[in-house]
Structure 1
Amino acid sequence: MNPGNAIGEQTDLDDGDGTGIASPARLRRLAIVWSETEPCASHEIVTLRFAAARLAALLGLEYDDAQAGAGEGDATYYLPMFTLTREEADARGIVMESQLWGGIVPHGFVATKLVSHPPWGRPEAMPEGWKHIAGIEKYTLPGYSVFARDDAWQAGKALLQDGAVRLKWPFARGGGGQAMVRDQHELSAWLDAANDSLFPGGLVVERHLESAKTYSVGSSSLPGYDIAYWGEQHNVLDPSGSEVYGGSALTVVRGSFPSALAAGSDVVRAIVAANAYDRLVRGAYGVVASRRNYDVIVGVDARGDRHLGVLEQSWRFGGASMAEVFALEWFSRNPGSNSVAAETGESYGDEPLPEGAVLYCHGDAESPRKYARIIPYGC
């Protein structure tokens, strides 16, 4: 595996000094934002509103569940559902990370899986603003970003020489919008069934790993708080039988990552990879982000070669966010505590909830049931 294991290399995920961002006196209210062009599922809006109410109480801000309008001024702290483009941020007067829990990118594709891989194909097919990020291949899986059907076919054929391949629509969330193909026949059938009009938006063609484990690694800066965290994700089956995101169990600490993590462990390698990816992508595109979450996978391919790499970034409210909210509340109530275990869970069944879980989305036949909790010691 490529990433090193020097724990000192990865503290860049925490830009602060561990003391937190001073709460600006000008902040008066918290407002939520969801995209007016991208569809939002009802369970996502329910989750966002639940988190917003708790964050507003934690930060001492006013809150109502209406979406924020444009030009509300610098007295508003924003909680967006999506990573904002610079144009969307400017319309709301957001110029710095201390005004939102989320991120700002110059182009929409920068917030997606597309920046995780070098392009395959003709330069004219690439979106405006595309940049090649030298060295990113060291911290991701073998793969390519493509913007035309023929390029997807050629890139897929090349990767299939070493085993199964995953095809990923870049704007999908929670593990959705993916397919695995094992040979050229399956690749051709998938491409034939795909809507060709979607290809200009991009597609990721990536090595498939067996016996894989996915880590969540990240940090958040909010007024008065800086935290860092790491932990494992788990998947569940949705009503269609597809494997999707099922939650994250995290260790959350005040400030930055501790230096006492076990050197050489996959957790440390995941943190190092996430930090390097963060530095490369944010540096290349000038990303502003107060919440930075990275999915890092480790597993073996069909040839038995072991890989560890960053799958994607999340500079927005995401699947692990409610665990972060619960951890922030814990630190507020327990000023002497420097670490806590917290988790989120999503499922489509009616099994009993774990001890201490708070159910904030009941779900239905099409959407998941969601909960979050502080994990009691010993569990």
Structure 2
Amino acid sequence: MKKGWVYFFFLILFLFSFDGEAAATSNVKYIPIAINDEWINFPDALPFVKEQTTYIPIRFLSDAMGATLTVDKTEGSITITSPKNSIKLMTKQNEMITLEGTRIKINNFVQDGRTYAPLRDLGKYFGYDVQYLSKGPIVRLVNSDAKTDTEQFLIENEKQIKEFYQKLIWENRPKVYLTFDDGPSIGMEEILNVLKAKKAKASFFMIETQMKKFPEDVKHLVKEGHYPALHSVSHNKSLLYGGKASAVSMEMLKAQKTLYSITGIQSSLTRAPFGSKPYMTNPFRDEMAKQKLKMWDWNIDSEDWKYAGKNPMEIVSNVKEGFQKLKERKEPIVILFHVKKETALVLPEIIDFIYSQGYQCVAYQPADHFVMNFWKDKRL
């Protein structure tokens, strides 16, 4: 944790006496960008620095300039048109065609679902002076519409610059996945309130009948940025594991359908009731893989199912003990909880402990899926 703050301190203060792109970007991977006096918003893909060149998602640059962006998939081109200029990027040829028809070599590529191109080349062509400011560091595109000079701009935006880099440091922390089974039910509201207050995200493995009973809770958790996952229909050992190998996958698909009807989210992440061992033998897992379902277990059991009504502080002890073992092994951490009021009572202390260890609490993301089942079945 201390290393992160030291890094942040030097990141904000380094290279005060130098100008230019190389100086301003030599020690950073991601960098904030502004046009004149306004920040550019990057909701799902950040501009980054590679070999002292700043690359930007062209969609967001186009929006910030007030330009229109047209994609021609057949031609493999992206056209950016402003009131005064136009440019066409030929993505496969790595070329930029100007309004006059001149072809210029320009490196562009797709990353995280966004097309990137060098900021300096695009900015200059659309009439901006591209300034790489070491104080920050930050990149600012400036034309005659700018209302503040560089010094005033930095003074007015000091808070936003610090928040940008603080967020990056936080998001680079190792991840802990808080997971909650058997909801929605009593205790859901309290758990969501704690997560919101602590700025933590989680994943909820929900029973289909409970989703139907408490649909507003399901919508609420999705709105708060948590991930909705599946935990069967019956939660019954004999119904799930005592008959056909397809029984588990069929229940998960039914739960999936109900979740979609409530939220519009097609979740494929499941958790087998009572854990995948010993119940989810190979025939069951074959059916799950056939239906393209994923399956998570856990590597820390809080045992709130055992201690919630007796000794809630035992839940905290179990998490801390399991956490230290996994931290030493540098493994992903997935903690099992249940939707209970008693769990909500001790959850703040648990989250504070996780933060104190230099970790962040995140929700599952399908794009970042990793194997977390007791069978180590890579299909799931």
* Shared fold, TM over 0.5: no
Q: Which has the larger radius of gyration?
A: 2
Whose helix fraction is larger, Structure 1's or Structure 2's?
2
Bigger RCO (CA 8 Å, 6+ sep): 1
Whose strand fraction is larger, Structure 1's or Structure 2's?
1
**What range is the shorter-chain TM-score in?**
under 0.3
What TM-score results when the alignment is normalised by the length of structure 1? Answer: 0.21
